[in-house]
């Protein structure tokens, strides 16, 4: 169990001991992308400047991310960092400063990958893809339509409402699905769902444009944890799957409120 701070050389050695061959360049890249925090600089001594130190928590996080990394994208790793920041709430583990860089990596360029757009769409419509709602075909069509919306950053309102409608038709099934979830409010009709989509797309654009600051992100976390409740249990798989969609909805609300000179409730 790693608990002591270490230099970049220590991180390379940690990785090698765990069976991973990494370079210092990868570590610098991960710091720039928010997967790792900026190391703590040390004072220059008589022998010159000493190498900066990564905290013990960041050394442990580095190994966890190495075990989970995929060759095609670092975005899933950015999501892990953001979930840690959101639920653990300890800046000694993941700071808001690091989370903001990770969020920029997570959002990235929406036109960069249709597969990533599908991942984001799946997170967003996850409650509506429950087998109790609609039909297999309607769920596939719903995911396909939202994937296109996330990929293009825009959508045809009438078409998307039509794709959503089958999931809301059985009111009793919809109520049962919502009651089985431990997450924020789920829109109860297609028009409300599209309002959520609008704020998510707006949040993504704000992140890309660099107008989201640490204060806005911290406000989202405070609101999210308040809604979950102080006595909420440790998140399960369902909570984690919906976390990023809810984070972006919350961020969109904060950005919208700021643009109108309001404070989100």
pLDDT digit string, tens, across residues 154-204: 899 999 999 999 999 999 998 888 887 766 567 889 999 999 899 989 898
- The answer for 159, left when phi > 0, alpha when psi is -120 to 50, beta otherwise, is alpha
Q: Which residue reads 């249990």 in tokens?
A: 233
CB-facing half-sphere around the CA of 237: CA atoms within 13 A: 1
Which residues span the domain enclosing 60? 8-75
Helix (H/G/I), strand (E/B), else coil: 6: strand
Asked whether the predicted pLDDT for residue 238 surpasses 90, the reply is no
**Whether 178 and 245 share a structural domain:** yes
7-57: pLDDT as tens digits: 999 999 999 999 999 999 999 999 999 999 999 987 766 666 678 899 999
6: β partners = 54
**Whether 31 and 144 share a structural domain:** no
Structural domain total, the chain: 2
Asked whether the predicted pLDDT for residue 265 surpasses 60, the reply is no
Asked if residue 242 belongs to a domain, the reply is yes
**Whether 65 and 174 share a structural domain:** no
User: Which residue would you say has higher pLDDT here, 111 or 15?
Assistant: 15
How large is the angle between the packed helices 75-88 and 214-228, nearest 10 degrees? 60
Asked if residue 103 belongs to a domain, the reply is no
**Whether 52 and 121 share a structural domain:** no
**Whether 129 and 70 share a structural domain:** no
**Whether 135 and 241 share a structural domain:** yes
Rounded CA separation 164/144 (Å): 11
Mean pLDDT estimate for the chain: 87
**Whether 240 and 184 share a structural domain:** yes
Average pLDDT for residues 116-123, to the nearest whole number? 88
């Amino acid at each position: 169990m790693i608990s002591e701070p270490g230099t970049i050389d220590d991180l390379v050695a940690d990785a090698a001991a765990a069976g991973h061959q990494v370079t210092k360049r990868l570590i610098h890249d991960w710091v720039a992308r928010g997967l790792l925090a900026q190391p703590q600089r040390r004072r220059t001594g008589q022998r010159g400047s000493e190498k900066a130190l990564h905290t013990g928590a960041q050394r442990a996080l580095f190994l966890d991310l190495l075990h989970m990394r995929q060759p095609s994208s670092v975005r899933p790793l950015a999501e892990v960092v953001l979930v840690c920041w959101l639920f653990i709430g300890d800046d000694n583990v993941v700071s808001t400063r690091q989370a903001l860089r990770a969020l920029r990596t997570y959002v990235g360029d929406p036109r960069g990958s249709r597969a990533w757009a599908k991942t984001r769409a799946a997170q967003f419509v996850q409650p509506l893809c429950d087998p109790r709602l609609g039909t297999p075909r309607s769920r596939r069509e719903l995911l396909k339509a939202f994937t296109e919306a996330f990929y293009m950053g825009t959508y045809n309102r009438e078409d998307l409402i039509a794709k959503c409608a089958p999931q809301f038709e059985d009111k009793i099934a919809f109520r049962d699905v919502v009651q089985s979830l431990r997450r924020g409010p789920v829109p109860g009709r297609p028009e409300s769902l599209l309002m959520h989509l609008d704020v998510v797309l707006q949040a993504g654009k704000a992140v890309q444009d660099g107008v989201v600051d640490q204060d806005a992100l911290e406000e989202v976390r405070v609101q999210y944890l308040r809604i979950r409740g102080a006595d909420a249990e440790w998140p399960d798989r369902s909570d984690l799957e919906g976390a990023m969609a809810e984070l972006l909805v919350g961020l969109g609300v904060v950005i919208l409120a700021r643009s109108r000179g309001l404070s989100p409730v």
